A = this chain, B = another copy of it.
Amino acid sequence: MKLLEDRICSEGVVRNGDILKVDSFLNHQMDVSLFREMAREWKRRFAGSEVTKILTIEASGIGLACIAAEEFGCRAVFAKKTAGSNMDAEVFSTKITSFTKGKVYDVVVSKRFLKPEDRVLILDDFLANGCALLGLMDLVKQSGATLVGCGIAIEKGFQDGGKRIREMGVQLESLAIIDSMEGGTLVFREE
């Protein structure tokens, strides 16, 4: 998606070889007019999929999920990284490793919000090794809901998460795929 690639080029900053900072518009400050265009693009790519629920994980995915939920006319749910004290006891649970933060999280969704009749689109801001996405897919599987596919803002195509998930037969729609950022130069995959 050219609009997103252009924004990554103009505002993204590459650090330490493999960290891409896009916090001016995606995951700290959020440019909601860009989010709206991204949501419309996912809606186009998943046209006819009859999505009934958008699933994401706190925190960076939540804004994208909410804007997209308006486009798809459904509710959004965010998986929580730890079970808070007033979290529902009846949850689907999985473990997700965050390499950025060097932690393993228990990630939960209340069983009330993922049902066998749901058709779920998973959205998130980044895809690298795929741990978060595979965890969210596991939650969907536990619920018996149908996974429609996954939408990602920025995929690091030089890590193997996208390849693994596509090889599982999942429709994965990343709006920008970066195949290389060596020396700070961003190379996007052709659509």
Interface positions of A from 5 to 57, Cβ below 8 Å from B: 15, 19, 21, 23-25, 28-33, 35-36
A70 near B100 with CB under 8 A, answer no
Say yes or no for A138: interface residue by CB 8 A criterion. Answer: no
Main secondary structure of the interface of A (DSSP, over half): mixed
Q: Which of B32, B69, B100 contacts A85 (CB 8 A)?
A: B100
Q: How far is the CB of A55 from chain B (nearest CB, A)?
A: 10
Query: Mask for A127-169, Cβ within 8 A of B = 1, else 0?
Result: 0000000000000000000000000000000000000000000
Which residues of chain B come closer than 8 Å to A95, judged between CB atoms? none
B77 near A101 with CB under 8 A, answer no
Say yes or no for A58: interface residue by CB 8 A criterion. Answer: yes
Q: How far is the CB of A43 from chain B (nearest CB, A)?
A: 14
Complex interface: stretch among A60-68, A170-178, A179-187: A60-68
Q: How far is the CB of A22 from chain B (nearest CB, A)?
A: 10
Q: Which of B28, B69, B86 contacts A30 (CB 8 A)?
A: B69
CA distance A80 to B113 in the complex (A): 26
Q: Which of B36, B69, B101 contacts A32 (CB 8 A)?
A: B69
Q: How far is the CB of A120 from chain B (nearest CB, A)?
A: 12
Which residues of chain B come closer than 8 Å to A25, judged between CB atoms? 75
In the complex, besides A23-B88, A32-B69, 6 extra interface pairs with C-beta distance below 8 angstroms are A29-B75, A30-B77, A31-B75, A32-B75, A67-B70, A84-B100
